[in-house]
Amino acid sequence: MEKVTIEILEKYLADRYNGWATDQRMLLKLVEEIGEVAEIVNMKAGIKSTEKSTDQLNRELGIELADMIHYIVAIAAINGIDLNTIILEKDKVASVKYNHTINLEEFILKEKNKKK
């Protein structure tokens, strides 16, 4: 199975939604998916009753989280936003602010070096 990167997903979604998707439409879809995640989390916590097993709930949670990522990246894609760069830049600032020992970019490099 192939690995999904933010860059590839942005290109794919920019192509898929080219010319007809709007921020508002994508945001409404995102909010819908957030509600579905909330429902599953409530089931897992026992706040909402269900007959589903933990494995079933985890599978459904994964699907709904994937849907959330889809619409978040779609909003970025239709606006020409490079999420990869912004995520790395924002993490560098947060790492300094919260005194982290390593930032995301350093972590990525460290993981790449482990695989060599």
- The residue segments making up the domain with residue 90 are 82-116
Give domain status of residue 104, yes or no.
yes
Give domain status of residue 59, yes or no.
no
The predicted model gives 2-22 an average pLDDT of 95
Instruction: Give me the chain's average pLDDT, please.
Output: 97
Beta carbons of 13 and 81 less than 8 angstroms apart: no
- pTM of this structure: 0.91
Q: Residue 95 pLDDT more than 90?
A: yes
Give domain status of residue 17, yes or no.
no
Give domain status of residue 56, yes or no.
no
Task: Provide the domain count of the chain.
Answer: 1
Predicted pLDDT of residue 93? 98
Predicted pLDDT of residue 96? 98
pLDDT in tens, 45-67: 999 999 999 999 999 999 999 99
Q: Residue 116 pLDDT more than 90?
A: no
Give domain status of residue 94, yes or no.
yes
